A and B are shown apart, each in its own frame.
Chain A
């Protein structure tokens, strides 16, 4: 009996110290030689970009990828508190509220921005002497019938961005009517960005039938950088008034075993060298004002000053209802 009591008491003390040690002591990292950055599959940083971090801290950066941004964030939410890494890259303004409901991150900061905008095939419109559309409203005109391909907002993050853009532009009561007209005007809904851009869209590799596609403000410079033969100007351009602002955040995961290193890595990601590497490796805009943009970006990428925006809390509150009414309209 006494033995049992001692055992219980000991395990209680152990449990208490185990629970409180990270906060009571000054944080000591569990693995001082390695810090893990959790990111989505499309996170392809410039080669060697973390060498300077390793030189300064003695810790290697292990990049662990886990699916597209939706999969990554859902997984992180399911395991909130017992994270698979120290720092999370890839939470955006459409998912921020959902993640913070379970306190996924102890702290977070914007790390990059980008825009989701309608792109068009320049050649297609030029060869037919048709002026490309310039607004959401234009997309419902008979002149642009059967020309637009969008993505399913349930499955695709640009698809959701475009839907949110229409909600921001038309208002929470009017966007439904707009989508009815879009549907009547023959807008095609593809399941994801890949199908829409590489198969349906006429302006990239797929040579599909649709000269208008929902993509990113940074897609034109990517077309130049990854052209099949070197080209001077992109074959595609962006309709600026349709751009919806996407902000990505970086933060320390609650339960990280390396709080020190996590903090240092976040600072590193926000510092000029990494921020300047992002445009041509990740095709996003830096948030650090001191970071200079490459020529390709200043010339061809689009980041309007007045992009459409919505409050993350508003998005989280209404997302399911909006998606359901969107499904009702489209199906």
Chain B
């Protein structure tokens, strides 16, 4: 009886932890999105959409390209994740940096890089760009988990005569399967709702539901068709969540260890991982190198003039300085992380269902964008032109990802440690600070990086928000590349190259 009461007590405690994230998500996500649907969704329009041959083929294309993109991403990312979480060799850090950098970059940069290498547009280039973007998702989510699998278990299996494939299937896979499913679901959703890559590389014939929602709402003014498509998209993503959740029921998560295992450093072990990593880096890095190439080569000749004028602080044609662009981006990214990471910690520390916090992944960015401008319109909620709304929305969009990045680490905290701490008289807060915090620290740092990355690269929902003098990096790049004149375009590539270099630098340390 006492035990039951205690459990009851615990449950209500974890529920109070959820108040802040739930309120936050309701105000800045649920209400605007519901507003869009209430105002524009018509059931008859939904039936029309289902019956429309051309829109059905859009849905079908979204689906199959996302499946292939996800599978290819896993094929390239999983071996690299294995190599980087088990081995260390010259260049591991930089390889990690390169593989995770694209996540931050605006689609226009990666797409321009891809186009600089191959002239052809179409499915193959789209899938390549999707792989470039999403390898980082797998690395970030599966990597920490994989690095915690106890080597002794594997060695033990090997000693007992298990072949490597058996060891993997019986020892390693059970530990990482939930993280892999998690990452694969995310990658699938990112590819399924792909927008920037599709508009640049898809030409006119390749459209996803997300790009069609945008076209219908913004280009053709058919808001009700757009919301009908958004419902269809949400239904499909919801179904994917349902399927993957069932197959990734957390199996017993006692990991025997709670800290990363030492890395192999002996030369003879390292040939295969080295080759695997090199392949992945080649696939991911080539578009990034193309960006840097275009920032220093003009008309076939090396020219540093764009970099020189960059360091002098002037951006041609734009009425903002480079310093203010970079400053604005960093402020937004920092603010978004300061909102997002604490909320995500509250979510992961409670035993709440995660479905609510996955919602921002399910709902189309355009739907949220429209919701924001029609909801925060009248005082006292006239927030649509407020500068703070931008990092707040970045935090909303980053939340599902950050929750997922923190989850494996919070699950891996041994319950015995917490119990011991409680037995010794520590309050839950002290336990959290003394037990959870030190174990979570690397995961929190990673989550902060992820959240900042989402903020720096976000170009969907917040592009519906108006700005007054707060130009961010992706916007400045898009504007510079969007004007005639060699100098303006080169300045755009300088900013893009800068983003590449800085992110590779930061990510190789994180």
Which residues of B sit under 8 angstroms from A66, Cβ to Cβ? 464-467
- Determine whether the beta carbon of B484 is less than 8 Å from that of A226: yes
Closest to A74 in B: B218
Whether B215 lies near A155 (C-beta < 8 A) is yes
Known: A47-B319, A199-B115. A38 touches B466 (CB 8 A): yes
Ranked nearest first, the 6 interchain pairs of A and B with the lowest CB-CB distance are: A226-B485, A66-B466, A205-B489, A222-B484, A205-B486, A226-B487
29 residue pairs from A and B, CB less than 8 Å apart:
A41-B478, A41-B479, A42-B479, A42-B483, A45-B319, A47-B319, A63-B468, A66-B465, A66-B467, A84-B373, A84-B466, A152-B204, A154-B204, A154-B215, A189-B203, A190-B203, A191-B200, A192-B200, A194-B481, A194-B482, A195-B112, A195-B115, A199-B115, A204-B485, A228-B306, A228-B486, A283-B484, A327-B204, A331-B205
- Residues of A within 8 Å of B306, CB to CB, are 228
A215 within 8 A of B: yes
Count class of interface residues, chain B:
35 or more
Tell me which residues across on chain B come within 8 A of A206, comparing CB atoms: 489
Nearest CB in chain A: distance from B472 CB, A:
12
- Chain B, residues 408-423, CB within 8 Å of chain A (1/0): the string is 0000000000000000
Q: Mark B381-408, 1 if CB is under 8 A from A, else 0.
A: 0001100000000000000000000000
A65–B467 touching, CB < 8 Å? yes
Q: In the assembly, what is the distance between CA of A198 and CA of B200, in Å?
A: 12
Of the stretches A75-83, A244-252, A287-295, the one at the interface is A75-83
Size bracket, chain A contacts: 35 or more
Cβ < 8 Å to B, chain A residues 60-114: 62-67, 70-71, 74-75, 77-79, 82, 84, 98
**Interface contact A154-B486, CB-CB below 8 Å:** no
Instruction: Write out the residue numbers on chain A whose beta carbons fall within 8 Å of the beta carbon of B317.
Output: 44, 226
Query: Is A297's beta carbon under 8 Å from chain B?
Result: no
Q: Are B475 and A222 in contact (CB under 8 A)?
A: no
A145 within 8 A of B: no
Q: Which residues of B contact A323 (CB under 8 A)?
A: 220
Given A79-B377, A205-B489, A64:B219 Cβ within 8 A? no
Contacts of B485 in A (CB 8 A): 204-205, 222-223, 225-227
Expressed in whole angstroms, the Cα–Cα distance for A67 and B115 within the complex equals 24
A189 contact set on B, CB distance < 8 A: 203-204
Q: Which of A65, A75, A208, A327 contacts B373 (CB 8 A)?
A: A75
Bitwise, A206-244 to B at CB < 8 A (1) or not (0) is: 111100000110010011011111000000000000000
Check if A191 sits within 8 Å of B204, measured CB to CB.
yes
Q: Are B467 and A205 in contact (CB under 8 A)?
A: no
A contact residues vs B (CB 8 Å cutoff): 38, 41-42, 44-45, 47, 62-67, 70-71, 74-75, 77-79, 82, 84, 98, 152, 154-155, 189-195, 197-199, 204-209, 215-216, 219, 222-223, 225-229, 283, 320, 323, 327, 330-331
Residues of chain B from 291 to 333 with CB closer than 8 A to chain A in the complex: 294, 298-300, 303, 305-306, 316-319
Is B488 located at the chain interface by the 8 A CB criterion? yes
Tell me the nearest residue of chain A to B469, going by C-beta: A63
The residue of chain B having its C-beta at the shortest distance from the C-beta of A95 within the complex is B221
Among A64, A74, A193, A194, point to the contact of B466 (Cβ < 8 A): A64
Chain A residues near B79: list those with CB within 8 A: none
Quick one: given A71-B463, A154-B219, A228-B486, are A207 and B300 in contact (CB under 8 Å)? yes
Please name the residue on chain A nearest to B305 by beta carbon: A228
Q: How far is the CA of A226 from the CA of B203 in the complex (A)?
A: 28
